[in-house]
A = this chain, B = another copy of it.
Amino acid sequence: MVFSVAVAGASGYAGGELLRLLSGHPEFEVRTVTAHSNAGQRLVDVQPQLRSLAHLTLVDTTPENLSGHDAVFVALPHGKSGELTAHLPNDTLVVDCGADHRLENPDDWAAFYGGDYFGSWTYGVPELVTANGKQRDRIVAARRIAAPGCNASTVALALAPGIHAGVIEAQDLVAVLAVGPSGAGKSLKLPNLAAEILGSANPYAVGGTHRHIPEIVQALRWAQSAASTSARDATISFTPVIVPMSRGILATATARLVPGTSAAAVRAAWESAYADEPFVHVLPEGHFPRTADVLGANTALIGLAVDEAAGRVVTITAIDNLVKGTAGAAIQSANIALGLTETLGLTMNGVAP
């Protein structure tokens, strides 16, 4: 069976990546692509990399244009999805790549985003360990899925196993991320210009203001178990740094080692969490990932070290922000929700160098 698909926000970076992946997916057929200011243009004139979809033309982003599909993928700026998707039938699979439906707590939404709150959907990070099994279990048969924030899912995947197993403390986490500017979308702002970013490393949202922080805390709350050292919410110092690569996130996320924990126990926590996962891999001792290794792939690679002198576990996690961080997570979740093989249309191999 082939499922008919619409993509809302098809002219942005996330929309383009959804379409790149969908175009190679054997069970999805893209019927409709929508846009705002680019409506009326051929898709391939806006997304010239999508040669196989040269037959598609962008139409307006309206409930009418999105209705009548088996699955709708939404890649709009936050605040734009809530009302639009409210018009879609309950049995249509809707996967939102924006932030609108990620946060369970309305206060978090108000504090970090603001505007109307439309409630939370099933969080689309299948591999996340939680107190009650993997998040995958909740995605099965879901019809409303919130694809994760790219930084948030990276850090959550990096740290959840250790918190879940009680080998690291959930308080005083520190994450610093090297990120590519495609995560900012096609926003025409000075800091996004090439001349501002080439040859430079540029921090932003420093000091606890980044919108992905409550999403990380929420995911780590789910990860907490009886073995965790504390039931209190995680606290995290989170700093993203834009570096001159178009895509990719390399997250250095560290946590205090629970005193007395062996390095073997640390490694076992991560390896057991991801042992059977097709898209999350824990690298052997002494190996650490590079973002190039996951370019274009739906893979998260995690390297792990215990720094005894510093009293910290250091995790290094590489993902492609537009794939595993956004569009790939969306399609992986859709595969699960629709009962398809989870890996369909996704690759675990990166385009390197």
Supposing A48-B293, A199-B198 touch, asked if A314 and B190 sit within 8 A by C-beta, the answer is no
The answer to whether A188 and B190 touch across the interface, beta carbons within 8 angstroms, is yes
In the complex, A294 has a CB within 8 A of chain B:
yes
Distance in angstroms between the alpha carbons of A199 and B239 in the assembled complex: 20
The answer to whether B353 and A196 touch across the interface, beta carbons within 8 angstroms, is yes
In the complex, A155 has a CB within 8 A of chain B:
no
Interface string of A231-259 (1 = CB under 8 A from B): 00001111101011111101010101000
In the complex, A267 has a CB within 8 A of chain B:
no
The answer to whether B287 and A45 touch across the interface, beta carbons within 8 angstroms, is yes
Residues on B with beta carbons closer than 8 Å to the beta carbon of A174: 174, 176, 237, 254, 310, 312
Count of chain copies: 4
Query: What is the size, in residues, of chain A's interface with B at 8 Å between Cβ atoms?
Result: 92
Distance in angstroms between the alpha carbons of A193 and B50 in the assembled complex: 19
- Chain A residues numbered 198-217 whose CB sits less than 8 Å from any CB in chain B: 198-204, 206-208
In the complex, A301 has a CB within 8 A of chain B:
yes
Residues on B with beta carbons closer than 8 Å to the beta carbon of A293: 48-49, 200
The answer to whether A297 and B172 touch across the interface, beta carbons within 8 angstroms, is no
Residues on B with beta carbons closer than 8 Å to the beta carbon of A292: 49, 196, 199-200, 202, 246
In the complex, A288 has a CB within 8 A of chain B:
yes
Supposing A13-B195, A188-B190, A235-B309 touch, asked if A351 and B20 sit within 8 A by C-beta, the answer is yes
The answer to whether A310 and B172 touch across the interface, beta carbons within 8 angstroms, is yes
Distance to closest chain B CB from A344 (angstroms): 12
In the complex, A31 has a CB within 8 A of chain B:
no
The answer to whether A239 and B196 touch across the interface, beta carbons within 8 angstroms, is no
A306 closest partner in B (C-beta): B207
The answer to whether B49 and A297 touch across the interface, beta carbons within 8 angstroms, is yes
Q: Which residues of A contact B (CB under 8 A)?
A: 13, 16, 20, 23-24, 45, 47-53, 172-174, 176, 178, 180-182, 184, 186, 188-190, 192-204, 206-208, 235-239, 241, 243-248, 250, 252, 254, 256, 281, 283, 287-297, 299, 301, 303, 305-312, 314, 316, 318, 347-353
